[in-house]
């Protein structure tokens, strides 16, 4: 195994297997034909054709579109076609940060292949020249990637929250990092990918922060999403990412990005260095 295997595993995408999802003349997502077929009976909301799926023109504003789509999604959930309803909405637009065209229940996001974003925080500790990283193990009850390894803080960005607000909220909920300490986190970039997962097509942007933590700080989970935290030497983190798939698929990318930025993966020592750098910014 190699670091590049982690990048490759997060780049499984066949554009020909999807139909464009169009709203108000703008492509906002990609749907599998089999999911499009589930939408076809709701012709007053979705116009399903062989080459694309359109949101019907009748719901013509953000609120009306949101209500119309939500009604269909609740019917699909009742029929078992959608599971794990979160009661959490994401904005839908042709590009991130553009004005939303409507809002959609989080669990449906990968089914429609719309862009979504989240925040990941690398929590690390220095002890002289030694570097350590806090690693979380996801709860066995998580619907996505149960028991997989994770960052100290990671979470999706719900509608109505800025990137920084999401970081502060998730830091408190996931690791009991108070606002004053979390405010020290530095925004260090973003990771993008398109990948086919069991839950559907993920087209995500991960906004990444680095947070150097005091040696006496110990994270504590409050929302039930993390089973335990451990402080690992960075060499152990590198080995586990490189030689296993124990980390959640996108968390591996966040670690690789950290290792590159901190000079722990270098172009002199890593033959796949350029491929790694390019692979973290997939379109």
Per-residue pLDDT reduced to its tens digit, 185-213: 999 999 999 999 888 899 999 999 999 99
For residues 256 and 3, the answer to whether their CB atoms sit within 8 Å is: yes
Q: Where are the domains of the chain?
A: 3-11+116-279, 19-112
Note the pLDDT tens digit of each residue in 115-146: 999 999 999 999 999 999 999 999 999 888 99
Is 3-11+116-279 in CATH node 3.90.79.10?
yes
User: What's the predicted TM-score (pTM) here?
Assistant: 0.95
Rg over alpha carbons for the chain, rounded to the nearest Å, is 20
Q: What six digits make up the tokens of 119? A: 């925040």
In this structure, is the dihedral angle defined by the CA atoms of residues 75, 78, 82 and 88, taken in order, positive or negative? positive
Span 19-112 CATH architecture: 2-Layer Sandwich (3.30)
Note the pLDDT tens digit of each residue in 18-65: 999 999 999 999 999 999 999 999 999 999 999 999 999 988 899 999
Residue in 223, 253, 220, 235 with CA at minimum distance from that of residue 149: 253
Confidence of residue 158 (pLDDT cuts 50, 70, 90): very high
Note the pLDDT tens digit of each residue in 159-188: 999 999 999 999 999 999 999 999 999 999
pLDDT at residue 90 tops 80: yes
Percent of the chain at pLDDT > 90 equals 93
């Amino acid at each position: 195994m190699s670091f590049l295997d982690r990048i490759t595993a997060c780049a499984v995408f066949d554009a020909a297997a999807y139909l464009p999802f169009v709203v108000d003349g703008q492509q906002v997502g990609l749907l599998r034909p089999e999911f499009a077929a589930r939408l076809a009976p709701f012709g007053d909301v979705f116009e399903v054709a062989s080459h694309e799926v359109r949101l019907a023109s009748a719901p013509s504003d953000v609120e009306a579109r949101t209500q119309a789509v939500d009604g269909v999604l609740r019917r699909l959930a009742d029929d078992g076609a959608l599971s794990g309803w979160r009661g959490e909405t994401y904005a839908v637009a042709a590009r991130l940060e553009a004005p939303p065209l409507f809002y959609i229940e989080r669990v449906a996001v990968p089914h429609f292949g719309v862009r979504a974003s989240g925040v990941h925080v690398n929590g690390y500790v220095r002890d002289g020249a030694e570097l350590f990283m806090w690693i979380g193990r996801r709860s066995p009850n998580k619907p996505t990637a149960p028991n997989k390894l994770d960052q100290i803080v990671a979470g999706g960005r719900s509608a109505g929250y800025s990137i920084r607000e999401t970081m502060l909220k998730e830091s408190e909920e996931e690791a009991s990092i108070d606002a004053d300490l979390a405010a020290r986190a530095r925004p260090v970039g973003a990771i993008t990918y398109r990948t086919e997962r069991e839950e559907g097509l993920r087209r995500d942007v991960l906004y990444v922060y680095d947070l150097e933590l005091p040696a006496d700080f110990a994270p504590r989970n409050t929302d039930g999403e993390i089973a335990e935290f451990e402080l690992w030497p960075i060499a152990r983190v590198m080995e586990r990412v490189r030689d296993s798939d124990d980390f959640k698929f996108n968390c591996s990318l966040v670690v690789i990005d950290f290792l590159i930025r901190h000079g722990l993966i270098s172009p002199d020592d890593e033959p796949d260095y350029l491929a790694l750098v390019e692979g973290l910014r997939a379109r």
